[in-house]
Each structure stands twice: as C-alpha cells, then as structure tokens.
Amino acid sequence: MRNIKEFLVTILSILIALVWIAPLFWLVGTAFTKPSFKMTFLPNTAFTLDNLKYVWNAIPFGKYYINTLILVIVTFCVQFVTSTLAGYALAVKEFKGKTIIFAIIFMQIIIPNDVLITPNFMTLSDMGLTNTKLGIMLPFYGSALAIFLLRQHFKTIPKALAEAAKIDGANTWQTIWKVYMPTAKPAYMSFAVISVSYHWNNYLWPLIVTNSPANRTLTVGLAIFAKSKEANMQWANVCAATFIIILPLLIAFFILQRQFMESFVSSGIKE
C-alpha cells in the first residue's frame, strides 16, 4: 500500500513538473524557429539563430543588460550590509523598543511592494531621483525578509562564541564578520536567490520610475519591444527577446542548483 502511494505521488509530481515546464519548452522552441504569426505549441519550422540576432540589434539590449546588472548587484550588496547589521542588532543587542521595531519590520514582509509605489515615487520625485538608477534601487536598500532570516539565524548562535571573540580582542564588526556571518551562509544564499531573481524580473517599479533608454531595465525593454513595430507581431521575435532575458538566470540555476536547494533546506526558521 505504501509503495502504491509513493508511486502515485511520484506520478503526480512528474505531471505537475511537466505542466510547469511546458511554457519554457514552448518559449525556447519558438525562439529558435523561423518567425510566424501563428502560435503553435510544437513549432514545425527549421532551427535558426536569426531571431536572436534580429532582436539583439533591434533594441539596445546591451545597455539594458548593464543597467539590470548594476541594479541587481548594487542592491544586493547594500542589502547584505544593512540586513546583516540590523539582523545582528535585533538578535543580539538589547535596547528599548526592540520588539516593536522587529514587529514593524515583520509587518513589511506581509505588505506587497506594489502598495508602496505611490509614496515611494512621490518621495523620489521630491528628491529629484526619478529616471535614475539610484531611484530604482533606493527603496530596496533595506530588506525586511533578509533582516528576518538573519535575525532568526543569529539567535541560534551561542552567545558564548561571541563572548569568547570579545575576550580575544575582537570588536563588534570583527565578531559579526568572523562569528555570526560564516554560520549564516544558508540564509545569505537563500536571500541572494530571492533578491537577484526579484530585481532581475521586476517590471512595474522600473517602468514607473524610468522614462529613458539610458536607465531602462531588461523587463521594461522587453515590454516596449513587444509592443513596437520591430517585433513585427511575431511570436518568434518576442520569445527570442524573452529568452535573452531569462538566459543568465537559467544558466545560474543549472550550475548552482545543488547550492540553491541546500540553502533553502538548511535555512530553517528557528526562534
């Protein structure tokens, strides 16, 4: 009976995986076949790279790639520092209002980012930071999710280790760097996956903040391309542009999939 149950669960998992991955197979297959005005699940035309060449030359994808890389890397680096310091303070230090501050940070995890678009845009407009790379990144320099993950990890570390480091002459930053951060690698990896994928695929906020090609991201460029005459209303060109955008994330996943899986498994939330 148990073997039958496991077999049915395996079959169901395979079916769900096939349903999930079918759009990706269709996208890749359409991107490498001759352009067509019809949408078919199994393209029956010859293999070609012309779609990728056409799309790359039709719009400044190189510039969009640079903008997106700057956005993703700088945002994560700042989040790495701010979240580490905030997580350490909430997990280790004792100060008045600590519980209230943590509750406010935790509440921000529940609130969707789209709800904050209007106040964030008004603030950036008053600061003169609209249509700038800094304007896109600034609202995300602090991450409630990263602070929560690191705070939970730091609380599991025995205080005796930190006290031993202080006895050896380590200051606060050295204690964080040599004692707390190495043990929180799973949390950092988990959040890195979330942060990079979110900001790489984020569309609405960069669309609202930017209005020039010099600061546009890949997702905004794709949306503009799909509506332009360069797309020629052909699915092959749109799929080729989409493939160019998702390719780095796919490569990173296939190369580091074991580390990704292990990080999520080992980054359990503890109180």
Q: Residue 270: pLDDT band by 50, 70, 90 thresholds?
A: very low
CATH superfamily of the 63-266 domain: MetI-like (1.10.3720.10)
Q: How far apart are CA 190 and CA 204, in angstroms?
A: 24
Q: How far apart are CA 145 and CA 87, in angstroms?
A: 10
Q: Report phi then psi at 55, rounded to 5.
A: -65, -45
Weakest-pLDDT range from 30-34, 99-103, 130-134, 214-218: 30-34
Weakest-pLDDT range from 94-108, 164-178, 254-268: 254-268
pTM of the model: 0.83
What average pLDDT does the segment 40-60 reach? 77
Between the CA atoms of 182, 74, 225 and 251, what dihedral angle is there, to the nearest 10 degrees? -30
Report residue 100 as tokens. 């209230």
> Would you say residue 23 has pLDDT above 50?
yes
Gap between the terminal Cα atoms of the chain: 38
The domain limits of the chain are 63-266
Among 195, 154, 148, 196, smallest CA distance to 175 is for: 154
Amino acid identity, position 67: N
> Would you say residue 269 has pLDDT above 50?
no
Report residue 218 as tokens. 């890949």
What average pLDDT does the segment 262-268 reach? 54
Q: 82-98 pLDDT, tens per residue?
A: 999 999 999 888 888 88
Q: Residue 200: pLDDT band by 50, 70, 90 thresholds?
A: very high
Q: 204-254 pLDDT, tens per residue?
A: 999 999 888 888 999 998 888 877 765 555 778 888 888 989 888 888 887
